[in-house]
Amino acid sequence: MSDGRRAPQIHALEKRIAATVAALELPEGQRPPRYDGAFVAQAALVLGALVAAAILVPNRFLDPSFRHLSVALGLLGLWRFSWWFNHALRAVWFRRRRWPGMRARADALWQGGWRPRRLHIQMTTYREEPAITRRVLASIVSQVRREKVPTSLWVGTGSAGDEAVIRDYIATHAADLGADLLEVVLMRQNQPGKRMAIGMILRGMARQGVEPDDLVIFMDGDTIYGSDVLRKVLPVFAADPGLQALTTDEEVICHGPAWMGSWLRMRFAQRRLAMQSHALSDRVLTLTGRFSVFRARHIIDARFIRTIEADHLDHWLWGRFRFLSGDDKSTWYHLLARRARMTYVPDACVYTVEIVSGRGIQRMNENFRRWSGNMLRNGTRAIALGPRVVPPFIWWCLIDQRIAIWTVMVSPALALFGALRDPFYLASLMIWVVATRLVLVSVLYRHARRAEMAWTFLLYVNQIFNATVKIYMIFHLARQKWFNRGNQRAQAARIGWKDAVAKIQMLTSVAAFLTLLGIYAGALPVPF
């Protein structure tokens, strides 16, 4: 159906998105309460059920025949939860101690009239919903007009339809802005893939004559600026001349299944906590492609551009293979290897729009495969830089990402082995899981606009599902798929026999893992 015939639907979606953003932008005192009546009722119900179960279900944790399992799970839980709360305390320290001074210095410069010589916005869009594109452009145009920041908007497009929507909006709503204030450059990508589109834009920037201290925003075509994003992020670079890159807070607007919206909101709450903890070490673990800002001196470097276009990994099994997605991880690694300082801006927010059709399970699985694959492909080489290049805390975070893949799977495995001996052990463990997740999400609620009781259960499902996908991806690094960008795929050449070797490795590793746990649990005999 043409955009003309879809005009009523496009307009309706645009209005819904605008209304949602307006609600999310309300000042703290005007927002709905974090803990509303429905949440309190649900919390009382869950706590009541938990207490009743603890009273009625026979406690097998202290049974002498299961004590070794309980001790192992307790020690493992103590380790993992202490690491979680370490992040939580670091996040509080960053927000309350480190960040206020950074914000005050940046605000003073902005109010004193400082503006970047020129801002360059690199945005890619691929057959995006016109309603989303219009809201994205509205957020950019309004802030450029208000803040008087000379801006070049470089858009890598995937089709003539994308370009028509952009041209129409700019002609209608930005005609009063001259090229000195807002220059719009449309570039149709001539090779497939987001990476090539970004590379094409960056080469165009370099030819135009970008200054090293100009600022460059990397953003996706579905990212809507909060009302004061430019004012809050740009002067941070002026206040800190050594800063090379930053990223911001994000919130999701999900048009799809309710459970998926809740899951995504939980993921972004986890992101807020982790980002603030990492920023205390002057690094972050990703410079997200949805919205990050860089000094141009790195962006216009020919090696950086080629890294974006053709980043690759040399693997003993898969050989050399190029990355399909994960351009944000490539930019992050390029800067990390050069000891570049990075930070997180907790009080500037952008909004990303997710339109999910159907039940959402496939989208969740594909997202996990893409996110986990990108993390694993880049994590290996980042760890190899060592703690002399990477700050020690950040370096250990990268190692911990690998360890956590397996530790997460210990509790469900021991629960199943314990259940083979006594079903009540599984019941006791489920009570433990719900109780501990209640404690963990109580910390996450401090990083959310609204508390959701569903997070208690989604958090555990998220951990198990994510670890399962990562275990698969560890052994299949060359398998890549980008479901929501034209269902693009990439994999190493001559993958047949290599795939067989990878499956044997995976099954052998999982079997060894389960066998050791089974022997420890007493559910399997000692083989010698």
124: in domain = yes
Report the pLDDT value the prediction gives residue 317, as an integer from 0 to 100.
81
Please name the residues in contact with 29: beta carbons below 8 A apart, sequence gap of 6 or more: none
Note the helical H segments in 314-409. Answer: 327-336, 361-384, 392-407
pLDDT band at 2, cuts 50/70/90? Answer: low
SS3 content of the chain, % helix, strand, coil (to 5): 60, 15, 25
Mean predicted confidence (pLDDT) in 191-198: 82
Q: Which domain holds residue 347?
A: 113-367
Question: From CA 448, how far away is CA 237, in angstroms rounded?
Answer: 27
Question: 45-54, 58-67, 461-470, 504-513 — which is least confidently predicted?
Answer: 58-67
Question: From CA 80, how far away is CA 256, in angstroms rounded?
Answer: 33
On the question of pLDDT at 524 being above 90, the answer is no
Report the pLDDT value the prediction gives residue 364, as an integer from 0 to 100.
84
Cα–Cα distances in angstroms (integers) from residue 212 to residues 201, 282, 293, 358, in the given order:
17, 21, 13, 46
Query: What residue has token string 């920037």?
Result: 205
Report the pLDDT value the prediction gives residue 489, as an integer from 0 to 100.
55
475: in domain = no
Q: Residue 454: name the closest of 249, 266, 233, 241 by CA.
A: 266
Is pLDDT larger for residue 478 or for residue 458? Answer: 458
Query: What residue has token string 């819904």?
Result: 16
Question: From CA 52, how far away is CA 69, in angstroms rounded?
Answer: 24
Report the pLDDT value the prediction gives residue 465, as an integer from 0 to 100.
92
Report the pLDDT value the prediction gives residue 353, as an integer from 0 to 100.
92
On the question of pLDDT at 481 being above 70, the answer is no
Question: From CA 377, how far away is CA 437, in angstroms rounded?
Answer: 30
On the question of pLDDT at 495 being above 80, the answer is no
Question: From CA 376, how far away is CA 313, in angstroms rounded?
Answer: 11
Q: Which CATH number covers residue 178?
A: 3.90.550.10
In single-letter form, the type of residue at position 412 comes to: P
Mean predicted confidence (pLDDT) in 358-379: 83
pLDDT band at 3, cuts 50/70/90? Answer: low
**CB 370 within 8 Å of CB 271:** no
307: in domain = yes
On the question of pLDDT at 388 being above 90, the answer is yes
CB count, 10 Å around CB of 344? 25
On the question of pLDDT at 178 being above 80, the answer is yes
DSSP-based three-state secondary structure for 212: coil
Is pLDDT larger for residue 216 or for residue 323? Answer: 216
Report the pLDDT value the prediction gives residue 454, as an integer from 0 to 100.
96
Q: Which residues pair with 481 in a beta bridge?
A: 489
On the question of pLDDT at 515 being above 60, the answer is yes
CB count, 10 Å around CB of 112? 9
Percent of the chain with pLDDT over 70: 96
pLDDT band at 316, cuts 50/70/90? Answer: confident
Give tens-digit pLDDT for 5-22. Answer: 667 777 888 899 999 999
Q: Which residues pair with 247 in a beta bridge?
A: 292, 344
Give the DSSP letter string of 34-84: SS-HHHHHHHHHHHHHHHHHHHHS---TT-GGGHHHHHHHHHHHHHHHHHH
What strands, in cross-sheet order, belong to the sheet with 243-255? 182-188, 151-157, 119-124, 215-220, 291-295, 243-255, 341-355, 223-225
DSSP-based three-state secondary structure for 124: strand
Q: Residue 126: name the closest of 155, 158, 172, 154 by CA.
A: 158
Q: Is the dihedral of CA 189, 194, 196, 200 positive or negative?
A: positive
Q: Residue 414: name the closest of 65, 84, 66, 83 by CA.
A: 66
On the question of pLDDT at 55 being above 80, the answer is yes
9: in domain = no
135: in domain = yes
The interaxial angle of helices 229-239 and 99-111, nearest 10 deg, is 100
On the question of pLDDT at 191 being above 80, the answer is no
Radius of gyration of the CA atoms of the chain, in A:
25
Please name the residues in contact with 208: beta carbons below 8 A apart, sequence gap of 6 or more: 152
The interaxial angle of helices 423-444 and 455-474, nearest 10 deg, is 100
139: part of which helix (H) or strand (E)?
helix 130-147
Is pLDDT larger for residue 236 or for residue 304? Answer: 236
Residue 227 Rama label (left phi>0; alpha psi -120 to 50; beta): alpha
Report the pLDDT value the prediction gives residue 452, as an integer from 0 to 100.
96
Report the pLDDT value the prediction gives residue 399, as an integer from 0 to 100.
96
In single-letter form, the type of residue at position 236 comes to: V
Report the pLDDT value the prediction gives residue 521, as an integer from 0 to 100.
86
pLDDT band at 121, cuts 50/70/90? Answer: very high
Outline where DSSP puts E strands in 99-181: 119-124, 151-157
Report the pLDDT value the prediction gives residue 422, as an integer from 0 to 100.
87
On the question of pLDDT at 23 being above 80, the answer is yes
On the question of pLDDT at 382 being above 60, the answer is yes
Question: From CA 353, how far away is CA 342, in angstroms rounded?
Answer: 26
Please name the residues in contact with 525: beta carbons below 8 A apart, sequence gap of 6 or more: 519
Phi, psi of 329 (to 5 degrees): -70, -35
Query: What residue has token string 């210990």?
Result: 410
Average pLDDT, the chain: 90
216: in domain = yes
Report the pLDDT value the prediction gives residue 6, as an integer from 0 to 100.
66
489: in domain = no
When divided into structural domains, the chain yields a total of 1
Report the pLDDT value the prediction gives residue 60, as an integer from 0 to 100.
85
Percent of the chain with pLDDT over 90: 62
Question: From CA 528, how far away is CA 525, in angstroms rounded?
Answer: 9
Q: Is the dihedral of CA 371, 319, 312, 397 positive or negative?
A: positive
**CB 125 within 8 Å of CB 95:** no
**CB 309 within 8 Å of CB 195:** yes
493: in domain = no
Give tens-digit pLDDT for 405-441. Answer: 999 999 899 888 988 888 888 898 899 999 999 999 9
